[in-house]
A and B are shown apart, each in its own frame.
Chain A
Amino acid sequence: MSNTQPVISASTQVLAHVPGMARHGSKPQRELASHPDREEAFLASLRSFEDAVAYGPHQVFVGALHPRQLPERPWVGVPDAGAGRFGPAGEVMPEIEFLGLLAAVDRFDLVTLDRETATAAATALAAHPLAKHFDLDRIDSAAGDTEALAAKPGVLPLYLGAGRLAAAARGDHDADESLAAHVLLENLAGKATATLALTRLLDANGIDPTSIDYVLGCGEEAVGDRYQRGGGNMAKAVAEVAGLTQASGADVKNFCAAPVSALVIASGLVASGVFRRVAVVAGGSLAKLGMKFEGHLRHDLPVLEDVLGGAAVVVEADDGRSPVVRLDAVGRHTVAAGGANPQVIEALAIEPLERLGLKMTAVDDYATELHNPEITEPQGSGDVAARNYRTLAALAVRKGDVERSGIDEFVRDRGMPGYAPTQGHLASAVCYLPHALARLTEGEAERVMLMAKGSLFLGRLCQLADGMSLLLERNPNRR
């Protein structure tokens, strides 16, 4: 039996700025249908691509800034002067390119682009640094009469921002809700963003796609049909279009905690010698676009949930330089642990460290649910990250690891402001991985903990939450 030390060697985060698709998020779709009078204000509040790129939290997401380098809020209306669409960890892709990418990864002719859009998207993607990895011929063959299509029942019109009709997305079965247009578009958008993240990860790190043995998907979509909703395997669909010809895959489902669960499983597969190199991928959640738009509009903010996220990570056998995964310190929220936030955090953060005989101050950075408070507060959801850090600090005091007077310092030095769009699975710690890898290699951190919670009760099967945590440590060869 093998006992290989797993490491996390590479991580990518991408955003697709899709203001035109924001109206197809679950909340706007319902609210704008029942209150058509709100559509004008909604459309007038969509951000330009330039504004989305210059938005500080997005620059953190793509790795250009560490979250603790963010200025004091507000971040809206205070553009980052040095911002570019490409960051060290990923990129922000404009909507025209993303429509092209949707067509490029579409294997069932679900998306039709109008001729002008197809030409513009193919031209733009041909100039993209990853162009050689994109199937640009499919964009051309996706061109068609979008106006006629969009007029048909069950077909979703896709717009460029608040502007013109540019594309249409169809369903694939009149009597199967799992194959309705909005479900298939959600799945395809997840596939496209996950593929963008994975392609970027392989290209930027010089990783041979055929060297990946297995892919774990951990996004929020439910791929399937009426006989098996959520049947899954987004992972293999992404592996195919990203050229991972020697990989198979499967999906991990655990609400927003799925990425951390997937990282633990991937590390276990590597440690046991089942696979040598595993990719973990997640695409964005179309359903969550515009989820809190009413609060944003009430506060004269733009519709801030106008981006789809994507993430890709490689877990592999020890390379002698990358941060190691401490599989002897995996935190899990047991059935008996209790559902109150302090109980969840105790299970995820304190128990694993006690197992190693470490104080809470032995961890340099705690990555918890890093939802951007500028998005959540206007709708009354509070500052999720700050709340978690206060709880962590309070537990550290109770444990005797920190003086009561040291709470603010603990929160400031080991916490960080939330910066992720409310794409829950990506906000739940995995978005910090590019920063964690940098801090644990070139930086000065020794340990980083990723903590995620999943709201199982939303599925109406049990009243429980779940959670999982992962401790990363500087590779001993780098000490």
Chain B
Amino acid sequence: MFDNKMVVALGERDGISGPAIAACVEAAGGKVVLTATECFV
């Protein structure tokens, strides 16, 4: 699904964290170029 795609994984602390998104993307063949989790409160 993400073959040959570069992905920016932006997570949110009350939802899905950046590393969790990155793990899914990599498992689907994508290349994660940036991982971050942010807190909006």
Q: Give the residues in chain A near B36, CB-CB below 8 Å.
A: 457
Shortest distance in angstroms between A266's beta carbon and chain B's nearest beta carbon?
A: 25
Shortest distance in angstroms between B32's beta carbon and chain A's nearest beta carbon?
A: 12
Which among B16, B39, B40 is the interface contact of A340 at CB below 8 angstroms? Answer: B16
Which among A381, A422, A427, A455 is the interface contact of B37 at CB below 8 angstroms? Answer: A455
Is the pair B40, A339 in contact by a Cβ cutoff of 8 Å?
Answer: no
Is A341 an interface position by the 8 A CB rule? yes
Which among A338, A341, A458 is the interface contact of B39 at CB below 8 angstroms? Answer: A458
Q: Give the residues in chain B near A458, CB-CB below 8 Å.
A: 38-39
Is B34 an interface position by the 8 A CB rule? no
With A340-B20, A384-B14, A388-B14 as given contacts, are A457 and B37 in contact (CB-CB < 8 Å)? yes
With A339-B37, A458-B39 as given contacts, are A453 and B20 in contact (CB-CB < 8 Å)? no
Is A405 an interface position by the 8 A CB rule? no
Docked Cα-Cα span, A384 to B11, in Å, equals 15
Docked Cα-Cα span, A369 to B36, in Å, equals 22
Is A11 an interface position by the 8 A CB rule? no
Is A182 an interface position by the 8 A CB rule? no
Is A387 an interface position by the 8 A CB rule? yes
With A376-B40, A424-B41 as given contacts, are A453 and B16 in contact (CB-CB < 8 Å)? no
Is the pair B40, A381 in contact by a Cβ cutoff of 8 Å?
Answer: yes
**Told that A381-B41, A457-B18 touch, could you supply 17 new A-B pairs with CB distance under 8 A?**
A339-B11, A339-B17, A339-B20, A369-B14, A376-B40, A380-B40, A384-B14, A384-B41, A387-B15, A388-B14, A424-B41, A457-B13, A458-B39, A463-B17, A463-B35, A463-B37, A465-B13
Q: Give the residues in chain A near B39, CB-CB below 8 Å.
A: 424, 455, 457-458
Listed A/B pairs (26) with beta-carbon separation below 8 Å:
A338-B20, A339-B11, A339-B37, A340-B16, A340-B17, A341-B14, A379-B40, A380-B40, A381-B40, A381-B41, A384-B14, A387-B14, A387-B15, A422-B41, A453-B13, A455-B13, A455-B37, A455-B39, A457-B13, A457-B17, A457-B37, A457-B39, A458-B39, A463-B19, A463-B37, A465-B37
Docked Cα-Cα span, A338 to B23, in Å, equals 12
At the interface, is chain A mostly helix, strand, loop or mixed?
Answer: mixed
Q: Which residue of A lies closest to B19 (CB)?
A: A463
Q: Give the residues in chain B near A427, CB-CB below 8 Å.
A: 41
Q: Using a Cβ–Cβ cut-off of 8 Å, how many residues does chain B contribute to the interface with A?
A: 16
Q: Which residues of A contact B (CB under 8 A)?
A: 338-341, 369, 371, 376, 379-382, 384, 387-388, 422, 424, 427, 453, 455, 457-458, 463, 465
Q: Which residues of B contact A (CB under 8 A)?
A: 11, 13-20, 35-41
Q: Which residue of A lies closest to B15 (CB)?
A: A341
Q: How many residue-residue contacts, CB under 8 A, span A and B?
A: 53
Q: Give the residues in chain A near B19, CB-CB below 8 Å.
A: 339, 463
Q: Give the residues in chain B near A463, CB-CB below 8 Å.
A: 17-19, 35, 37
Q: Give the residues in chain A near B37, CB-CB below 8 Å.
A: 339, 455, 457, 463, 465
Docked Cα-Cα span, A267 to B32, in Å, equals 43
Q: Give the residues in chain B near A465, CB-CB below 8 Å.
A: 13, 17, 37
Shortest distance in angstroms between A69's beta carbon and chain B's nearest beta carbon?
A: 23
Q: Give the residues in chain A near B11, CB-CB below 8 Å.
A: 339
Shortest distance in angstroms between A353's beta carbon and chain B's nearest beta carbon?
A: 22
Docked Cα-Cα span, A369 to B13, in Å, equals 12
7 pairs of A and B residues whose beta carbons are closest in the complex: A339-B17, A455-B39, A381-B40, A457-B37, A463-B19, A371-B41, A455-B13
Q: Which residue of A lies closest to B40 (CB)?
A: A381
Shortest distance in angstroms between B33's beta carbon and chain A's nearest beta carbon?
A: 15
Docked Cα-Cα span, A382 to B36, in Å, equals 19
Q: Give the residues in chain A near B13, CB-CB below 8 Å.
A: 341, 453, 455, 457, 465
Docked Cα-Cα span, A457 to B40, in Å, equals 13
Docked Cα-Cα span, A382 to B15, in Å, equals 11
Q: Give the residues in chain B near A338, CB-CB below 8 Å.
A: 20
Docked Cα-Cα span, A388 to B37, in Å, equals 18
Q: Give the residues in chain B near A340, CB-CB below 8 Å.
A: 15-17, 20
Q: Give the residues in chain B near A387, CB-CB below 8 Å.
A: 14-15
Shortest distance in angstroms between B38's beta carbon and chain A's nearest beta carbon?
A: 8
Q: Which residue of B lies closest to A383 (CB)?
A: B14
Q: Looking at B14, B18, B36, B40, which has the most chain A CB atoms within 10 Å of its CB?
A: B14
Docked Cα-Cα span, A427 to B39, in Å, equals 14
Shortest distance in angstroms between A311's beta carbon and chain B's nearest beta carbon?
A: 17
Shortest distance in angstroms between B15's beta carbon and chain A's nearest beta carbon?
A: 6
